[in-house]
Every structure is written in structure tokens, then in C-alpha cells.
Amino acid sequence: MWQALAAYAVRGPTQAALLAFSTLLLSLVLPPLVVISNAIVALVWLRLGPVSGLVSITVALVLGTIIASFSGMMAVPAVLMIFYWLPVVLMAAVLRETVSLSLAILFGVVLALVGVLVAYLVLADPSESWQSALQAVSEITKKSGGTVEDEKVAAWSAHAGRWMTGFCAATLFVIAVVSLLLARVWQARMFNPGGLQKEFHGLRYGLVAGAVGSSIVLAAAFLNSELLTNLAIVVVVAFALQGLAVLHALAAQLKMHPLAMVAVYGFLLVLAPTSIKVIGLLGLADTWLDFRSRLSVIKKD
């Protein structure tokens, strides 16, 4: 089904705009559909180029403005497109120009880190803003029949508020990456079967990114800095992606049973956030040790 939609989207920017905007609206009810919407936009940019990509976004924005004018929510389409479409479009643009999945995803990491920095520059106290928002959500829950104690809500909101900026930036980054990978899956199936697997298995950010990422994580571990902690969340999640690429590549090189990677993803989901930290540290270590190349050398010997 989704492959058929992808094939329809690459027929032209108008078709892509209709599909992308429709799924974006539906994602307000079914949130996972935002990945489909993002992937359609990215696919058009990758396959048809920036001109068609900009046309499809413009058409979608016009449609959104018309619909929003009748519902009284004029800013909603633009806000959704900025937070969801803009990161994946920029990453797709980098991928199209450089033909490097690693550079495209690394650019997404930079966007997420800049987003955290901007939040701390614009907002006087991001953690306090999140704390107020979380307490408001808790009040709504109580009014609808929840039985949450005020003291527990205040304590949890104060704790969670300190890292919500980094968590949201990392979440948007993951959504953008998954969307970009889905777009590449569609593109590979239609025009280059098997191309994505090689790209993902070789995913590696490089020594400079590793040095910067390691510095942020170490600084966050030893310094009591809320900003550094939020930046470190993004870094760990980003390098967890490289860690997954390492595990996928090693599993392929060692010809392991497919259930091995199922177990890895089970570990990732069930034991999060600890599992994310472990795989993120694996990704950081791979920057310096290059496990994939070492295994290839050992196998040749």
C-alpha cells in the first residue's frame, strides 16, 4: 500500500502535495502517520529535485491555509510543516547533494543541537516552561477522573522539565531520520534495490563528530549543567543510531540469524533509556575503534 502511494507521489509535485498534506492532517489523529507524510516530502526532494520539492510544499501550504481559514487554526499547518517537514527536507537536500547518508543524518544532529541551543537562548528558563506545561496536563488528567497527588505531580514535573527540551529535540530528530530512511527505502525499491542496506551498514559520523559528541557527553556527566544534559541527550540518541548501524553490519558480516537483531530492538524498547545509552556508547566507541573494519580485517586473515 505505502509503496503504491510512494509511486503515486513521484508522478509530480501536486500529487505529492496532496498525499503529504493529507497524511499530515491525519497524523493529528494517528501520530505515526507523520512519518509517512515526512517520507513523501523527502522522496519527492530526493527523486524529483528541489524545484518539485518546493512546489509540493508550497501547494501543501496553500491547501493548509485554505482549510485552516475555515477551522480558525491558521497557524497549525505552518507549525506542523516547520517542525516535521523542514528537518527531513533539509536532510534530504543534503543527501541528494552529497549522496552520503552519514552526512545527511549528521546534519540532522546539528539541527537538533541548534534547536536545543535556540530554546535556551529564546526562553528565560525552558525547564520552568516545561514544568508549567506538564502540570497543566496533569490538571487536565485529574479533571477527567485521574487520581494523581499534587506533590507527586510537582516533583515529577520539576524533574522531567529539566530534560524535556533535549528529549523533544531528540524525538523530532528520530522522526526525521526514520522518515528519511523510509523515503530511501521507497527510492531504493523503485530505482536501486539493495542500495539502502549498504548505506546504513556504513553509517559513521566521523572523528570530528565523535570528538564533539564525546566532549558534550563527558561535560554533561561531570558538570551540573542543564543545557549540557539536554545536548547530551541528543548526542546519545544520535550515536545510538550509529551503534545500531554497527550491530546491523556485524550481524550481516557474521551471518547471524535475523532474530538476533529482533532481540536487539527488543532490548532497545523494553529497557529504554538505559539501552539507548548502551547502544549510544557503542556508537561513540565505534568512532574511535571502527568495529566494522576491524572485523573485516579479522575475517580476511
Higher pLDDT, 283 or 142: 283
Report the C-alpha gap between 13 and 25 in whole angstroms. 18
For 32, which DSSP code?
A: T
Block residue for cell numbers 570528538: 211
Residue 261 vs residues 46, 245, 255, 285, 293: alpha-carbon distances, Å: 29, 11, 11, 20, 20
Rounded to a whole number, what is the largest CA-CA distance in the chain? 69
Report the C-alpha gap between 64 and 236 in whole angstroms. 35
Task: Tell whether the model's pLDDT for residue 153 goes beyond 60.
Answer: no
Task: Tell whether the model's pLDDT for residue 77 goes beyond 70.
Answer: no
3-state secondary structure of 124: coil
Task: Tell whether the model's pLDDT for residue 167 goes beyond 70.
Answer: yes
What's the pLDDT at 16? 86
Q: For 183-239, write each residue's pLDDT tens digit.
A: 998 888 877 666 678 888 889 999 999 999 999 999 999 998 899 999 999 999 999
Provide the mean pLDDT of the chain. Answer: 84
CA dihedral 237, 240, 241, 244 (to 10 degrees): -160
Rounded mean pLDDT, 21-34: 86
Task: Tell whether the model's pLDDT for residue 149 goes beyond 60.
Answer: no
DSSP string, 188-234: HHHHSTTHHHHHHHT----HHHHHHHHHHHHHHHHS--HHHHHHHHH
Single out the residue of 267, 219, 207 nearest to residue 240, CA to CA.
267
Per-residue cell: 259? 532474530
What's the pLDDT at 173? 96
What's the pLDDT at 238? 96
Rounded mean pLDDT, 98-106: 94
**Span between the terminal Cα atoms of the chain, in Å:** 46
Task: Tell whether the model's pLDDT for residue 74 goes beyond 80.
Answer: no
Report the C-alpha gap between 217 and 128 in whole angstroms. 23
126 residue type, one letter: P
Higher pLDDT, 167 or 133: 167
Q: For 240-256, write each residue's pLDDT tens digit.
A: 999 999 999 888 888 88
Angle at 295 between CA 292 and CA 296, to 5 degrees: 85
pLDDT bucket at 22, cuts 50 / 70 / 90: confident
Higher pLDDT, 162 or 52: 52
Neighbours of 122 (CB within 10 A): 8
Most confident region among 31-35, 110-114, 119-123 by mean pLDDT: 110-114
What's the pLDDT at 179? 94
Task: Tell whether the model's pLDDT for residue 17 goes beyond 90.
Answer: no
Q: For 42-51, write each residue's pLDDT tens digit.
A: 999 998 888 8
Task: Tell whether the model's pLDDT for residue 124 goes beyond 80.
Answer: no
Q: pTM to 2 decimals? A: 0.88
Angle at 81 between CA 78 and CA 85, to 5 degrees: 165
Task: Tell whether the model's pLDDT for residue 106 goes beyond 70.
Answer: yes
Non-local CB neighbours of 137 within 8 Å, separated by 6+ positions: none
Q: For 260-286, write each residue's pLDDT tens digit.
A: 888 888 988 888 888 999 999 999 999
Burial tier of 104 (Cβ tally within 10 Å: 0-12, 13-18, 19+): buried
Per-residue cell: 64? 493548509
Is-contact 104 96, C-beta < 8 A?
A: no
What's the pLDDT at 132? 72
What's the pLDDT at 207? 92
